[in-house]
Amino acid sequence: MSRSSLFDHRRAGLLLHPTSLPGSYNSGVLGLEAYRFLDFMAACGFTVWQTLPLGPTQEDLSPYSAQSVHAGNPRLISLEQLIDIGLLKKDNGPRTDEDGWNYQKRRLVEAHRSFRESGMSRVEYDEFLHHNQYWLEDYVLFQAIRTAQGYSSWVEWPRALRDRHPQEIAEVFQNSKDNIEQCRFEQFLFYQQWAAIKRYANENGILIFGDIPLFVGHDSADVWAQRHCFLLDEEGNPHVVAGVPPDYFSSTGQLWGNPHYDWESLRGDGFQWWKDRIRTQLNQFDLLRIDHFRGLESYWEIPANAQTAVIGKWRQAPGDELFRALRTEFGHLPLVAEDLGIITPAVEALRDDHGLPGMKVLHFAFGGERDNAYLPHNHVQNSVVYTGTHDNNTTLGWLEEINFETRTHISDYLGGNFDSTALIRTAFASVANLAVIPMQDILALGGEHRMNQPGVATGNWRWRFRWEQVSQGTTAWYRHLLELYGRI
């Protein structure tokens, strides 16, 4: 399928991060449950699986502040798949003193040892190293030093390592060979397993929809290895940081803390950093959402020492230049603009000039004026409609907490209907060519099952579903709805 045809007809999809898949470890993995989920999607008639970013996370598990924009999260590697191909033998699971992730790490070391000693062909492995050299070597070096430095931020490393002095870097490669090779191997496993899942999805008519956070985590291989791309001082600390002013989600705005880009530096080599980033993502996904798209037209710049995002200023970004450079490099780009929040005519013009679908979220539609862009009668075909996103409450939880005015508006607008199924039907009925429903809403789950609560530092990104939550008749019901609304 050509990239330009992805939005040529009506589709429906599910939003579920792979970490939310069922399973026996702390996190969902790229194993049998992922294939079972794809089978469930196909039986229902859904043809798009939307995920969150897949990069290696920090301790808070947020996929939006990963340690690399290229690497995959090793927590997602399926040990069962490694048993199936003979790299591991079955065992009894974690020791009593061992949590799930430490168990996975130990088993991945065993798998690497088995790979080295087994005499298995290295052709695919060597090809992976060759094709991904443009990001992989910086990433494995970053991880080796980070481990040796007790997982501290790279700005706290000894100056020679922080500033990548050649002699000290060469010594790391020499002294940390085992850790570096282990990290390379884990990335190879992740990419193999993800490629197999994407291939299976595509063979069953399902597209994989990825997510690109606009900004990059400061404590990441990308910022450490390419400091010239970011606004940092001589010690690597940001002058200013990213976020958004007060909005629907927070009265004090959102202070993300990511460093801002040095756009003049990025212009200097034709946005090569962005080209490399998009190249990696286009290999992993069929289409991509650009999170915080408005930051490519202008971005909210907050002093690095600020306690909230209230004080800041808007700065212009060269989004039009960037998209022109990317189109020259890749041709048609299968991108969706996350155009939520404070959207100006200039942001809309950037989106529309490049033909990018925007987002329509039904949780934002009700309780206001008739010209609200999220109300279904104002939707356009070239858009993606959601009941809610990973940052919203579940639809059931949202319906339980909204005020009387909004309840009345919903009931009146939907002809007396007031439940999560009515909102899902409304999304399917929209003229938007793609409708995406969070898995929590398919299962009619309450607010305790939400994925993320912006502005709350702990407890996010851990939600997982269970197959027993899928009631009998679900597949037939959703297949009926998708046929009814022309999305199959």
Structural domains of the chain ordered from first start: 11-357+433-484 (3.20.20.80)
User: Would you say the C-alpha torsion 22, 27, 32, 37 has a positive or negative sign?
Assistant: positive
Q: Give yes or no: 203 in active site.
A: no
Is 485 in contact with 428 (CB distance < 8 Å)? yes
Which residues have a Cβ under 8 Å from the Cβ of 378 and sit 6 or more positions away? 371, 372
At 328, is the pLDDT very low, low, confident or very high (cuts 50, 70, 90)?
very high
Alpha-carbon 447 to chain mean position: 21
Per the annotation, the verdict on 33 as an active-site residue is no
Given this model, what pLDDT does residue 5 score? 62
pLDDT digit string, tens, across residues 384-399? 999 999 999 999 999 9
The two structure tokens encoding residue 116? 């080295």
- Model confidence band, residue 161 (pLDDT cutoffs 50, 70, 90): very high
pLDDT tens for residues 3-37? 456 778 999 999 999 999 999 888 999 999 999 99
Please state the rounded mean pLDDT for residues 108-116.
96
| Cα–Cα distances in angstroms (integers) from residue 430 to residues 48, 376, 381, 475, in the given order | 17, 6, 8, 21
What's the pLDDT tens digit per position in 56-97? 999 999 999 999 999 999 999 999 999 999 999 999 888 877
Residue pair 288/336 in contact (Cβ under 8 Å)? The answer is yes
pLDDT in tens, 341-361: 889 999 999 999 999 999 999
Residue 249: pLDDT band by 50, 70, 90 thresholds? low
* Backbone torsions φ then ψ of 85, nearest 5 degrees: -95, 5
- Marked catalytic residue, from 33, 291, 297, 339: 291
Asked if pLDDT for residue 101 goes beyond 70, the answer is: yes
Please pick, among 33, 211, 222, 338, the residue that the annotation labels catalytic.
338
The answer to which of 117-126, 293-302, 427-436 has the lowest mean pLDDT is: 117-126
- Please compute the mean of the pLDDT values over residues 308-313 and round it to a whole number: 94
Nearest Cα residue to 244 out of 308, 198, 323: 308
248 pLDDT more than 80: no
Nearest to 162 by CA among 218, 202, 117: 218
SS3 170: helix
CA distances from residue 43 to 38, 257, 341 in whole angstroms, order as listed:
9, 42, 35
CA-derived radius of gyration, the chain = 23
Q: Is 291 a catalytic residue?
A: yes
Average pLDDT over residues 123-142: 97
pLDDT-derived band at 422, boundaries 50, 70, 90? very high
Per-residue pLDDT averaged across 85-112, rounded? 91
Residue 281's pLDDT is 98
Is the entire prediction scored with pTM above 0.85?
yes
Q: Of the given ranges (94-108, 120-134, 157-171, 468-482), which has the lowest mean pLDDT?
A: 94-108
Catalytic residue among 138, 186, 286, 391: 391
Cα–Cα distance, 444 to 441 (Å, whole number): 5
Q: Extract the tokens encoding 210.
A: 């990825």
426, 362 contact by CB (below 8 A):
yes
